Amino acid sequence: MKVSFYHLASVEARYQGKTALMVDELALLAGQLNVVTGLNGSGKSTLLGVLAFLMQPTQGVMKFFGKRVRWERTQLRELRRSVTLVHQSPFLFRGSVASNVSYGAKARGISGSALQERVRKSLEVVGLSGFEARNANRLSGGEARRVALARALACDPEVILLDEPLAYVDELSTRIIETLLVALVDRGVLVVVSSHDPTLGLRLNGRTIRLRQGRLVPDSEPQESYAVKSPESDVFATL
Amino acid sequence: MGSLTQSVVTAFSLIFSADREVWAAVWTSVNTAAWSTVIASLFGLPIGMTIGLSDFPLKRLAVILLNSLMAMPTVVLGLLVFGLLSRQGMLGGFGLLFTPKAIIVGQSLLATPIIANYSLSSVRAADARILPTALTLGASPMQSFAQLTNEIRFGMMAAVIAGFGRVISEVGVAMMLGGNIRWYTRTMTTAIALETSKGEFAFGLALGIVLMLISFSINVGLNLMQEEQQP
């Protein structure tokens, strides 16, 4: 039986005074690939922020490894060390690729040759071997995304959260990232990916969690339409 | 125009002949300005960063106050500190008035809001993803804060330079609290004011040129450092 990493019950998160997320119940298990889909503003990033322990819900109970999350400073630091979030447009710190990739591992007390080895392996996994000395702020968008992913992998987290990892990346980067996600799941890592692509979950043999206006959509309900309105639609008619 | 050229020539000859009085004023200026900048940075940088990073009910008021303090006339500030340091003042017992230390106290108070404001602007202009990125990589709040400081270090340096530029070029505080005592509290700016009023234009101009050289050197140095380290 798979271990339950997260359990959310009646969790509500508000953003700028509005309810951005309202989850009645959600369990996320070890070694599971979860793809959170939904339109813009459906609450995907908010859910990832809550799962990354960066955004405190306004109400509800959240459990991590069976323990209730109390959102206290000392507990949060420990919890955040189990989870890594890769943002949609990741921020790379000033300096070399190696200094970026080693950041999280260093914060966990890893140093010396063990740290170097982690950096090397993480870069190898994302197809960027030999990039250690490159300036992190002079990479292409796809390379920067992969460095951010390598930086997350170097932390060796139990949970990895990725906000739109496949948006605006080339075919090669897409293939590398998708292969990597599947490999992580095989290693027992809980992977949660947000995406606009409703077919991603199916393609990667994962679970699709649909969000609409901050709420989970039951599997029985049909997919939302992503089609752009035609010029004849009522929006244009009002102009 | 001829007299101006003559004054410039005299100024350079004073500088290159290592005129003791010129260099005494230069030393007092640089010494007091450097200490004032260090002290003001110790207070100003954390104040600016704290206001920039935190939310509290009177934040808007604090920002307005900081902005207003930037426009504080140096003579008024000198007057207030004079009241504190004079024999009858609260701090009169320390005997600081008309010493370089009195100038440092006044100039520190003058530079603190400037440095705080500049650092506040740097924090506001910083990429909003820095702190969450560091936190989600497992950094402690202190480590995240250190990373943010590292990312905006040029803004912080600019804050310190602005503070230094303000105090090294001011007259009011140095004149009121230092007393323009020859070989002791006479700074470049107070000497310029005194010598010019005495009709010693060349001497005043020599000090003015040194003052400009110091300011320009610091700015050029900062720009070179930024160019070297920028991606």
pLDDT in tens, B128-157: 999 999 998 989 889 999 999 999 998 999
Output the pLDDT for position A226: 46
B226 touches chain A (CB under 8 A): no
Output the pLDDT for position A7: 95
What one-letter code names the amino acid at B93? G
Q: Do A54 and B150 touch (CB under 8 A)?
A: no
Task: Say how many Å lie between the first and final Cα of chain B, rounded.
Answer: 47
- Contact residues for B127 (Cβ-Cβ < 8 A; gap 6+): A91, B151
B177: DSSP letter: I
Output the pLDDT for position A224: 56
- Of the candidates A89, A93, A107, which has its C-beta nearest B138's C-beta? A107
Low-confidence ranges of chain B (pLDDT < 70): 1-3, 226-231
d(CA A143, nearest CA chain B) in Å: 16
Report d(CA A37, CA A35) in Å as an integer.
6
- Complex ipTM more than 0.95, yes or no: no
DSSP codes, B111-143: HHHHHHHHHHHHHHHS-TTHHHHHHHTT--HHH
Q: Do A77 and B138 touch (CB under 8 A)?
A: yes
Looking at chain B, which residue has its C-alpha nearest residue A73?
B141
Output the pLDDT for position A121: 95
Which among A136, A98, A92 is positioned nearest to A118, based on CA atoms? A98
- Tell me the per-residue pLDDT of B100-138, one tens digit each, with 9 for 90 and over: 999 999 999 999 999 999 999 999 999 999 999 999 898
Q: Do A84 and B136 touch (CB under 8 A)?
A: yes
Q: Do A94 and B132 touch (CB under 8 A)?
A: no
B153-168 vs B100-125: helix crossing angle, rounded to 10 = 150
Output the pLDDT for position B46: 95
d(CA B74, nearest CA chain A) in Å: 39
- Note down pLDDT in tens along chain A; length 239 residues: 667 899 999 999 998 788 999 999 999 998 889 999 999 889 999 999 999 999 999 999 999 999 999 999 888 988 998 999 999 889 999 999 999 999 999 998 899 999 999 999 999 999 999 999 999 999 988 899 899 999 999 999 999 999 998 888 888 888 888 999 999 999 899 999 999 888 898 889 999 999 999 999 987 665 554 444 444 444 444 43
∠ CA B125-B136-A6, rounded to 5°: 140
